[in-house]
Structure 1
């Protein structure tokens, strides 16, 4: 298999645009995590994962923003995303997730101007 770059891994694990809307909300996380190879038989379930439903240029824009003291960049505007959290304490497949659809600023670490790690999300100021 061809080794993917950290940026390609970021895209595979965290970007779903346009969003696959054909799936029921509770099945979305299980299906997407399996299809994208984030969860796999024999591997422990990932405790949480976020899928951003925005064009990649919205995430690239974060890398041109001034980073915080920890080197984390924020998207200029809030983006739609689905937050997947492992349900229950079982870390072995089959993995069951709870999905929440939100709109927050997405926080990323960047390398050479490309997002390579999703560090979290931040609710916009009220």
Structure 2
């Protein structure tokens, strides 16, 4: 009986972990993607000020500072066109055209607020995303 209780407890833990992983993956939505990654037209702020304000405005500085985030300066549906192309070997989709992006990187190693970011404006980058139901839900990478 004791062996059966241990097995049952292990099985419940395993199922709980699988459900938590699936819930996390399903928690990614197009609306969350837009909130975290799309700024079109680009908010009129310069360099570091852009990143510091936009990261706070979009909720990525509390309770800790997000170390890295990319803002795409194109309509969400322009980015969504990537989801109509075949995925790469890793399962990600790439925009058919290059887009303007701003990459915000946290300065220093401290992830506790106040957050201080460095900005890098890239004018012509492809955007690589994960898609669900034909819409982007996760920005994986950008590249020239």
Q: Same fold (TM over 0.5)?
A: yes
Partner of residue 87, structure 2 = 67
TM-score of the two chains, using structure 1 as the length reference: 0.89
1:51 aligns with 2:71: yes
What is the CA deviation profile of residues 46-103 of structure 1, one whole-angstrom value per residue up to 9, with x for unaligned ones?
1100000011221110000110111100000110010000111111101111000002
Corresponding residue to 1:28 among 50, 53, 57: 50
* Alignment of structure 1 residues 2-21 onto 2, 5 Å: 6-21=29-44
Counting helix residues as a fraction of each chain, which structure ranks higher?
2
Please state how far the C-alpha of 1:38 moved relative to its aligned partner: 1.6
SS in structure 1 opposite 2:120? strand
Alignment match of 2:59 (pick from 11, 24, 37): 37
Provide the aligned C-alpha RMSD in A.
1.2
Structure 1 segments unaligned to the other structure (5+ residues): none
Question: In the TM superposition, what is the alpha-carbon distance from 1:17 to its structure 2 partner?
Answer: 0.2
TM-score (norm 2): 0.78
Q: Aligned runs of 1:80-91 on 2, under 5 Å?
A: 80-91=100-111
Q: 2:142 aligns with which of 118, 121, 124?
A: 121
Alpha-carbon distance between aligned partners in 2 of 1:44 and 1:95, rounded to the nearest angstrom: 8
Runs of 4+ in 1 over 3 A off after TM superposition: none
- Count matched residues: 117
Gaps of 5+ in 2: 1-26
If you compute each CA radius of gyration, which structure gives the higher value, 1 or 2? 2
Contact 2:128 2:140 in 1 (8 A): yes
Q: Does the aligned pair in 1 maintain the 2:28–2:138 contact within 8 Å?
A: no
Cα distance per residue 1:12-48 (max 9 Å; x no partner) = 0000001111x221111110111111222xx121110
